[in-house]
Amino acid sequence: MEEFIVEVTAENAQQVLIEESMKRPVLVDVWADWCEPCKQLMPVLEKLAAEYAGQFLLAKLNADTEQALAGQLGVRSLPTVMLLKEGQPVDGFAGVQSEKEIRDMLDKYLPKTWDLQFQQAQKLVGEGELDQALPLLRQAYGDSGERADIAKQYAAVLLEKNRAKEAEEVLSKILMADQDADYQQLMAQLELKQAAAESPEIKALQQALVENPDDNESAYKLAIQLSQAERQEEALEILLKLLRKDLGFADGAAKQAFLDIVKTLGAGDPVATTYQRKLMTLMF
């Protein structure tokens, strides 16, 4: 059942009120044609059902045509609204309430936005769609107050994308109480990624810059090597310093490399956003 709103009858009551409430909350609105407060309330409930887009099911029960069913639910006045979960009433009210009051009641029982984002991201990860999962995990991680289970999944995807520095930052914020076997495994993967990222070419170019910080050619080559090793933030920082010295370095190749890395990170990526802003400041 994918509907947002259904009419409850004796024929479908078992499916709607019991079976469906095992999958998601069911908000039962008991009403009648002659009930003026019912007519005030129903549009508000319908609006919320459409807005929440299936997170709960609005089940409308006409007390006149389904008197026996209304009696079984213990309805004594109209309108009566009850929220069912797993076949049992968990909340509700009689009479008319404001949209805010109803929304507050629903939000106590519905998944949070970040839970839905996390679930969607996990599905994408399972399908191998890491690029699509990453922005969802980033959003869920921030909105949830850096919840540990989301943090670990976020770090795992960052590591798969060879973004070890960002993964390290995420993992460093996980509290000791949440540093379980999954966390330890992620830390081990992080150490391996960090070791693998230090190629002989990168080490040589880093040494060349230590010996001569003004060696712009080595700086440019190091940025390219770091980018190829998926160390995008480090690459962007080096290129930004280079562009501050010479905006047209290598006939614009350094600027183009900078823009290519930002594009690779994707729209909405915080690293991309930060460095886009820094480049705009430099240019204008």
Q: Report the predicted TM-score, pTM, of the whole model to 2 decimal places.
A: 0.62
Predicted confidence at residue 111, as pLDDT, reads: 85
- On the 0-12 / 13-18 / 19+ scale of CB atoms within 10 A, 28 is buried
67 is annotated as an active-site residue: no
Low-confidence ranges of the chain (pLDDT < 50): none
Residue that has been written with the tokens 């009403």 in this structure: 31
Predicted confidence at residue 230, as pLDDT, reads: 79
Q: In what order do the strands lie in the sheet with 26-31?
A: 5-7, 57-62, 26-31, 80-85, 88-94
Predicted confidence at residue 1, as pLDDT, reads: 55
Residue ranges per domain, the chain? 5-107, 113-197, 200-283
**Strand residues in the chain grouped as ranges (E):** 5-7, 26-31, 57-62, 80-85, 88-94
35 is annotated as an active-site residue: yes
* Domain 113-197 class in CATH: mainly alpha
CATH superfamily, region 200-283: Tetratricopeptide repeat domain (1.25.40.10)
Given phi > 0 = left and psi -120 to 50 = alpha, else beta, which region is 162? Answer: left
Rounded to whole angstroms, how far apart are CA atoms 272 and 278?
10
Rounded to whole angstroms, how far apart are CA atoms 150 and 69?
43
Rounded to whole angstroms, how far apart are CA atoms 134 and 158?
8
Q: What is the CATH number of domain 5-107?
A: 3.40.30.10
State the first-to-last Cα distance of the chain, in angstroms, to the nearest integer: 55
Rounded to whole angstroms, how far apart are CA atoms 38 and 84?
19
Please list the residues that pair with 84 across neighbouring strands: 26, 89
Catalytic residue among 5, 32, 35, 42: 35
Catalytic residue among 27, 38, 105, 262: 38
Domain 5-107 identical in fold to domain 200-283 = no
Q: Can you list the pairs that 208-217 forms with residues at least 24 positions away whose Cβ atoms lie under 8 Å? A: 216/242, 216/245, 216/246, 216/249
